Amino acid sequence: MDRRLPPPPPSREEVERKLLDLIAGRITREEASAWASPWAGAYESGIEDEALEDALQGLYLADGPTIDRPYLYERVDFEKWLADFHEKTSGESK
């Protein structure tokens, strides 16, 4: 197992932009997952920001398959991830 630390985490603004791009269809689920994989798929992410870590996990799982349809998560889920991200970061400086 590769236990190297991932690159420095993205900013909250970058993560929010990726969620918005995913919701709007400007990026594919696979692109969102690949972008988040260095952090969400890491043995140790090094991220202490819970809102950031949760959003990255969601992006990483965006292309997850299921048995009864092509993908486990849908646009409504992406919108919920963004709403949760905003709720967790409201009132905090980004």
* Category of 25 on φ-ψ map: left (φ > 0), alpha (ψ -120 to 50) or beta: left
Task: Determine the average pLDDT of the residues in 71-81.
Answer: 98
Per-chain mean pLDDT for the chain:
90
Q: Domain ranges in the chain?
A: 12-89
pLDDT per residue over 26-74, tens digit each?
999 999 999 999 988 766 667 888 999 999 999 999 999 999 999 999 9
Using an 8 Å Cβ cutoff, are 57 and 75 in contact? no
